[in-house]
């Protein structure tokens, strides 16, 4: 009986101790599992954050490259004058040029020759190069087109045509060997066209682009390229179309709007019909305008004139009292500037 009592006392003493040890072991095991899970979760979270950051930076870089990737100078618009003789707010002194005429090239031959590259000695394969460019154009790969046009062998190809309206062509032809169907051509002054042809001239829908490579070590060109996309007839823009200008924005002047897009209609290469216009400012502000044109001239919005004889030719989309001004001398023969064409 005494032994049983002693055993009972031992069990009462030992069992709680064993239970405590078991509880501690279980606690340590559970804690280890949790810590491992937390570490894994934390590592996964950190990896997700890193991936998100990388994607964000990549997206930001792509956006910056795209922006780097895509005219007409117009003044900071002003309120319409209350009377023809005494406008309430004088128009800006900045020349009110609202046509592509302001995008005329600097002297092509002189500047190209000053680049210290003898383009006459650079060899090129016009058919192969135009075929290569045509592939990218069909895929709407503007970046690839820009890169190709800036290669010396492409510049040399265009340079060989300087002083003429001739062009090198690659694409569909009729039985007589004239461009007919879909094809691509290069002209002097780093100009290209891709689209439809008929009877040897641009006819139908297509895109023309003029790369402004008029630079040397002493000069930077405001324009990167000028582009027209739309209908052609008799080798000239005719019908619905749009112009786009891409700039070196670092050369923008303050309080001056630079037209980036004109959407409207053309006749014989000149503006003719209703137009929607956007322009960009040095502070990245964008303004939208409406205008009407006839036979290469903007139709004045009203009879008001300033002291220099300028009148309002475009009205702002969000402010019907805000205009772009232009003088009669400037307001003529406005169209797709610099275009080399057999129709002119």
Q: Distance of CA 50 to CAs 37, 44, 46, 53, 60, Å?
A: 20, 10, 6, 5, 15
Q: Which residues of 249-283 are buried (b: 16+ CB within 10 A; e: fewer)?
A: eeebeeebbbbbbbbbbbbebbbbeebebbbbbee
Contact 73, 57 (CB under 8 A): no
Instruction: For residue range 260-319, list pLDDT tens digits in order.
Output: 999 999 999 999 999 999 999 999 999 999 999 999 999 999 999 999 999 999 999 999
Neighbours of 62 (CB within 10 A): 11
CA distances from residue 212 to 108, 149, 188 in whole angstroms, order as listed: 9, 10, 12
- Mean pLDDT rounded to a whole number for the chain: 77
User: For residues 43, 46, 47 and 49, what is the CA-based torsion angle, rounded to 10 degrees?
Assistant: 160
Q: What is the pLDDT of residues 69-109, one digit of tens each?
A: 222 233 333 333 333 332 333 343 333 333 333 444 444 55
pTM here is 0.70
Assess contact for 205 and 196: CB atoms under 8 A.
yes
For tokens 């023809």, what's the residue?
Answer: 84
How much is the pLDDT for 135?
A: 95
pLDDT value, residue 17: 55
- State yes or no: pLDDT of 233 exceeds 60: yes
For the ranges 12-26, 45-59, 301-315, which has the lowest average pLDDT? 45-59
pLDDT greater than 70 at residue 35: no
What are the residues whose beta carbons fall under 8 Å from the beta carbon of 321, sequence distance 6 or more?
79, 80
Cross-strand bridge partners of residue 173: 179
296 in Cβ contact with 270 (< 8 Å): yes
């Amino acid at each position: 009986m005494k032994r049983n009592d002693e055993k009972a006392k031992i069990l009462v003493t030992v069992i709680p101790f064993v239970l405590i040890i078991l509880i501690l072991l279980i606690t340590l095991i559970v804690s280890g599992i949790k810590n491992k899970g937390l570490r894994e979760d934390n590592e996964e979270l950190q990896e997700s954050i890193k991936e998100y950051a990388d994607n964000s930076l990549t997206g930001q870089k792509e956006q910056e490259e795209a922006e780097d990737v895509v005219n007409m100078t117009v003044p900071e618009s002003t309120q319409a004058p209350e009377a023809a003789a005494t406008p309430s707010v004088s128009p800006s002194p900045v020349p009110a040029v609202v046509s592509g005429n302001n995008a005329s090239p600097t002297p092509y031959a002189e500047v190209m020759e000053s680049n210290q590259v003898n383009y006459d000695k650079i060899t090129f394969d016009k058919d192969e190069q135009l075929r290569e460019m045509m592939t990218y154009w069909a895929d709407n790969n503007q970046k690839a087109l820009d890169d190709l046009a800036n290669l010396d062998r492409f510049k040399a190809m265009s340079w060989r045509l300087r002083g003429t309206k001739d062009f090198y062509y690659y694409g569909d032809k009729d039985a007589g060997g004239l461009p007919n169907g879909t094809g691509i051509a290069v002209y002097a002054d780093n100009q290209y066209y891709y689209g439809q042809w008929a009877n040897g001239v641009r006819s139908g829908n297509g895109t023309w682009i003029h790369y402004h490579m008029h630079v040397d070590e002493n000069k930077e060109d405001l324009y990167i390229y000028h582009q027209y996309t739309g209908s052609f007839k008799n080798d000239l823009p005719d019908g619905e179309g749009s112009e786009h200008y891409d700039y070196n924005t670092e050369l923008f002047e303050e309080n001056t709007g630079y037209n980036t897009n004109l959407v409207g209609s053309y006749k014989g290469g000149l503006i003719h019909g209703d137009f929607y216009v956007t322009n960009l400012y040095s502070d990245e502000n964008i303004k939208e305008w409406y205008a009407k044109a006839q036979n290469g001239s903007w139709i004045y919005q009203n009879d008001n004139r300033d002291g220099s004889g300028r009148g309002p030719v475009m009205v702002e989309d969000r402010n019907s009292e805000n205009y772009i001004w232009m003088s009669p001398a400037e307001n003529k023969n406005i169209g797709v500037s610099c275009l080399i064409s057999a129709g002119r």
